[in-house]
Amino acid sequence: MIAGVVVALGGAAVAGGAVLLEASGHVDRSASTPVSRPTAAPHRVGARPSVGADAVTASRVAPLRRIVPPDVLVVSRTGLTRGQLTGIRRLAQVRDLITADGGAIGLRARTANVLGVDPSEFRSWTPLTTAANQRIWAALARNEFVLSTSAQAQLRLHPGTSYQLVGVTQPLITMGASAALGIAGVDALVSRDTARALGLVPNVVAMINAPGADTAALMRRLRRLLGKQSQIIDLDATSAQVPAESAAGHGRPGTYLQLYKESAAKYCPGLSWTVLAAIGQIESGHGANDGPSRAGALGPMQFLPSTWRIWGIPGFGDTTADIMNPYDAVPSAARYLCANGGGSTGASLDRAIYAYNHAGWYVREVLDLAQQYARQFG
């Protein structure tokens, strides 16, 4: 099997007979199409001495200094050219851009949708809990592969075990970890070195950060620049529409978007719901990765248990405060922000967000993303 070319989001295959990326929400999915095995002998990629994660992280993976929420995803079946990428970067309101190699390969008799990334760069574009987990990025730096949590549940692979990945070559590669990857339909991450060995298409995917942008206008400009052969997906349009509960009932908010709005109004008058939405997206991808983090934070709003014991409250008719329950976690986050000045604006709001996570970059990212939610949802 030759590594497949990235296809239309939503599952319609184009060239290469492969399927990649279904971005209609935040739930990762593994494809189940059987794949044929080539006859070439398997080999190992990136054979190097086994070293501790700390040593690899120190030498290969840059420290996490920010989170970059992706707003628009671009997919090109033949790979984005240097000229196209330069054109995207020059568009008004585009702040940042990252690319990934991609394609569909065989893994355990299934078609797996894989991105090849630089761990030092890509980690900032994932939910905070995933980004802060050094073990994930150290594994990629060792040329191991990282599986999405949903693909892990379906395939039942085991970290530390080597598996054959079937592309242009058939390397035996160790599974290093599983994690919430933040892009629906992506089953696994590999390093750029491994991507080249597998024959993944260079620069198939571009993720764009454009805080505060008019996303619809940006997408029109991207369409004019890239033409009809590329797919352009608004990642913000459905991000907060993820169901907060499969069957909310009892008059409770049915989606995270509604939950943020009602929690701000009920538990912290004066706090914009967009701040809660921004924190929810950055911390867990609206419940897609609820931890525990390396520091032990849990739940959709990533509370430390010690903080939760003080600020956690039952919300929306619950009788007990559950750190993992969004109907308790989001109101508790509103309460915590309010106690630190979140019901006001300006410097008071900045201090409240800083109290939530002690980093200047975090405050800036929350405020930028909150501005975008205001533009998108009013």
* Top-confidence residue, 166 or 291: 166
Task: Report domain extents, the chain.
Answer: 15-234, 240-377
Q: What is the C-alpha to C-alpha distance for residues 292 and 214, in angstroms, rounded to an integer? A: 34
266 pLDDT band, cuts 50/70/90, is very high
Residue range 271-307, pLDDT digits in tens: 999 999 989 988 888 887 777 877 888 999 999 999 9
The DSSP 8-state label assigned to residue 36 in this structure reads P
In 3D, which of 216, 208, 188, 237 has the Cα closest to residue 73? 208
110 DSSP β-pair partners: 107
- Residue 103's contacts (CB-CB under 8 Å, 6 or more residues apart) are 3, 4, 5, 6, 16, 18, 20, 114, 167, 198, 199, 200, 201, 204
Neighbours of 95 (CB within 10 A): 14
3 state DSSP class of 16: helix
The dihedral of CA 56, 197, 177, 304: what is its sign? positive
pTM (2 d.p.): 0.66
For residue 317, pLDDT over 50 is answered with yes
CB hemisphere CA count around 64 (13 angstroms): 23
Element (H, E) at 299: none
Whole-number pLDDT of residue 254: 82
| Cα-trace Rg, the chain | 21
Question: Residue 35: pLDDT above 60?
Answer: no
Output the DSSP codes for 158-184: -TT-EEEEESSS-EEEEEEEEE--SST
| Residues 43-56 as b or e (16 or more Cβ within 10 Å = b) | eebbeeeeeebeeb
Residue that is written with structure tokens 């065989």 in the block: 106
Q: Which residues lie across from 234 on neighbouring strands?
A: 72
Q: What is the pLDDT of residue 271?
A: 94
Whether the per-residue pLDDT at 46 is higher than 80: the answer is: no
Q: What is the pLDDT of residues 105-151, one digit of tens each?
A: 999 888 888 999 999 999 988 877 788 888 899 999 999 999 988 88
CA distance 126 to 308: 24
The answer to whether residue 251 scores a pLDDT higher than 80 is no
What is the fold of 240-377? Answer: Lysozyme (1.10.530)
Question: Residue 244: helix, strand or coil by DSSP?
Answer: coil
Q: Which residue has the tokens 């913000």?
A: 236
> Concatenated DSSP letters for 315-366?
-TT-SS--TT-HHHHHHHHHHHHHHTTTTS-THHHHHHHHHHS--HHHHHHH
Widest CA span in the chain: 66
36 Cβ neighbours under 8 A, 6+ residues apart:
1, 106
Report the distance separating Cα 74 and Cα 71, nearest Å.
10
User: Between 4 and 271, whose confidence is greater?
Assistant: 271
pLDDT of 216 > 80? The answer is: yes
Mean per-residue pLDDT of the chain: 79
